[in-house]
């Protein structure tokens, strides 16, 4: 990478970067901040993915019983998509207040909100007991889950990005990302364990509720860790500047207005970068469960697929920080584009491998897909954080991230099921993944490299040298 990738900075910006602008300050060491952030994201993703797995395996029978199993599956996956609709709303609300009062208070609130909704799902009676009220309440609780998660991600990655050493921002910021496979590991692991030691009747009757109820314990652990960290120094500096402007009679616009007024390209870049990452992840971890257990093409056991995804999640958890570290060395763009290209090609390999119905090859399919996914997901936190200025960063990353979630991840299970049902082949899903990869490749390739940016600066109007990829 040439030195022209690095935009010129004023002396004050360089000083801020090494003496408080991007560096940790006070008792909240970077390791402590990472632990707090990852603990919360793990719990929240555990709650979110638990619903996704249950929507594929349990909810069609418990909350959407019909004479046609396919219809029940469609309805259950529809409620999974509903959670994504609420995520941009959560991103807007949490981003607005996170840019005004701080990252930490909103992170605490999102964790509690998600935990309460998940615990309530574990207590919710099924259709056989309360009729149509059961799926209606389920949808409402799913909306609450989506709202909470919409505000969680931005704050979790920002509080790490804004504390950490700029030279290792990709590495440190990737750890909250590892909370996603960590949460999935917990969710799939508990469900797989229950499915192994329970009969299908017991699991459908009450066993599936146990992981939802255990969410309360995980939330308490996450809160204990998260309450111990301090606000990021970069945000505190920006907040002090905002107070000075207010004292001088200047009035700042709402963060979300500033985002769309000054950062339209960055919002579109974030959305595009998310597309293949979001679609591929739900294909490799959620749709594969329905495809291999509920479709007319395959009728394998639940434990077969859950165990394969479990192994994939473990590999994913370990490799995400490695990809983040590589982005510090080789740049966000090169690593991200490697991942996007990889998932676009691997989608076809994935279908070929899982169609064999071999457990070893199914594990290989999931692991390979998640390795390429990790090459996007690892650098993503740092990359998106570097797109926006501090006073609107929470709003910017949340909006860009969550808007993509609606059209990408939220619809991915529904579109995938529709495709292989209509065409009678999983390769139709592979074409869908490849098209998503192309969108991401264009979005990332056409934006300047960001790894040398200081978070204390505002890059809404890139300099000429910054525009060199």
C-alpha to C-alpha distance for 302 and 300, rounded to whole angstroms: 7
Dist CA 342 CA 373 (whole Å): 8
Residues 6+ apart with CB under 8 A from 383: 170, 273, 327, 332, 336, 450
Instruction: Pull the structure tokens for residue 54.
Output: 């249950």
pLDDT-above-70 percentage for the chain: 87
Residue 368: per-residue pLDDT? 97
Average pLDDT for the chain = 82
Q: 32-60: string of b/e by CB count within 10 Å (b at 16+)?
A: bbbbbbbbbbbbbbbbbbbbbbbbbbbbb
- Cα separation, 306 vs 286, whole angstroms: 10
Token pair for residue 200? 């299908």
| Neighbouring C-beta atoms of residue 128, cutoff 10 Å | 11
Confidence band for 270, pLDDT divided at 50, 70 and 90: very high
Phi, psi (degrees; rounded to nearest 5) at 260: -75, -20
CB 450 within 8 A of CB 266: no
- Closest by Cα among 376, 406, 388 to 91: 406
The whole-number average pLDDT for the span 54-83 is: 74
pLDDT score of 77 more than 60: yes
One DSSP character per residue, 133-150 reads HHHHHHHHHHHHHHHHHH
- The model's pLDDT over 415-443, given as tens digits with 9 standing for 90+, comes to 998 898 899 889 999 999 999 999 999 99
The full set of domains in the chain, from first to last, is: 3-467 (1.20.1250.20)
Q: How far apart are CA 450 and CA 331, in angstroms?
A: 8
Model confidence, pTM: 0.79
């Amino acid at each position: 990478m040439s030195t022209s990738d690095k935009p010129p900075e004023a002396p004050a910006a360089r000083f801020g970067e090494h003496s408080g602008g991007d560096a940790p300050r006070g008792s909240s060491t970077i390791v402590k901040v990472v632990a707090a952030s990852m603990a919360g994201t793990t719990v929240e993703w555990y709650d979110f993915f638990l619903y996704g797995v249950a929507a594929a395996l349990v909810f069609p029978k418990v909350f959407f019983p019909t004479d046609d199993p396919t219809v029940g599956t469609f309805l259950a996956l529809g409620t999974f998509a509903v959670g994504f609709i609420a995520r941009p709303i959560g991103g807007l609300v949490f981003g607005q207040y996170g840019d005004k009062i701080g990252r930490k208070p909103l992170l605490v609130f999102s964790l509690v909100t998600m935990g309460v909704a998940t615990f309530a799902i574990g207590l919710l009676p099924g259709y056989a007991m309360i009729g149509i009220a059961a799926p209606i309440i389920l949808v409402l609780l799913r909306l609450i889950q989506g709202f909470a998660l919409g505000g969680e991600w931005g704050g979790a990655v920002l509080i790490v990005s804004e504390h950490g050493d700029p030279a290792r921002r990709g590495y440190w910021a990737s750890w909250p990302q590892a909370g996603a496979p960590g949460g999935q590991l917990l969710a799939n692991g508990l469900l797989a364990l229950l499915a192994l030691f329970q009969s299908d009747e017991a699991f459908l009757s009450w066993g599936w509720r146990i992981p939802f109820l255990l969410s309360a314990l995980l939330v308490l652990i996450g809160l204990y860790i998260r309450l111990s960290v301090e606000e990021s120094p970069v945000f505190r500096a920006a907040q002090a500047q905002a107070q000075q402007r207010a004292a001088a009679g200047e009035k700042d616009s709402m963060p979300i207005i500033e985002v769309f007024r000054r950062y339209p390209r960055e919002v579109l870049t974030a959305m595009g970068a998310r597309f293949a990452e979001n679609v591929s992840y739900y294909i490799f971890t959620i749709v594969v469960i329905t495809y291999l257990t509920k479709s007319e093409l395959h009728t394998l056991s639940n434990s077969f697929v859950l165990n394969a995804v479990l192994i994939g999640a473990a590999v994913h958890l370990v490799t995400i920080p490695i990809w983040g570290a590589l982005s510090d060395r080789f740049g966000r763009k090169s690593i991200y584009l490697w991942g996007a290209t990889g998932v676009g090609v691997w989608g076809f390999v994935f279908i070929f491998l899982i169609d064999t119905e071999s457990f070893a090859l199914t594990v290989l399919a999931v692991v390979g897909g998640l390795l390429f996914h990790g090459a996007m997901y690892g650098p993503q936190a740092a990359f998106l954080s570097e797109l926006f200025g501090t006073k609107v960063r929470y709003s910017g990353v949340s909006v860009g991230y969550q808007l993509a979630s609606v059209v990408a991840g939220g619809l991915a299970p529904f579109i995938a099921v529709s495709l292989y049902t209509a065409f009678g082949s999983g390769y139709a899903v592979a074409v869908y993944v490849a098209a998503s990869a192309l969108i991401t490749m264009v979005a990332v390739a056409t934006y300047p490299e960001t790894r040398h940016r200081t978070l204390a600066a505002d890059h809404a109007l890139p300099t000429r040298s910054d525009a060199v990829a």
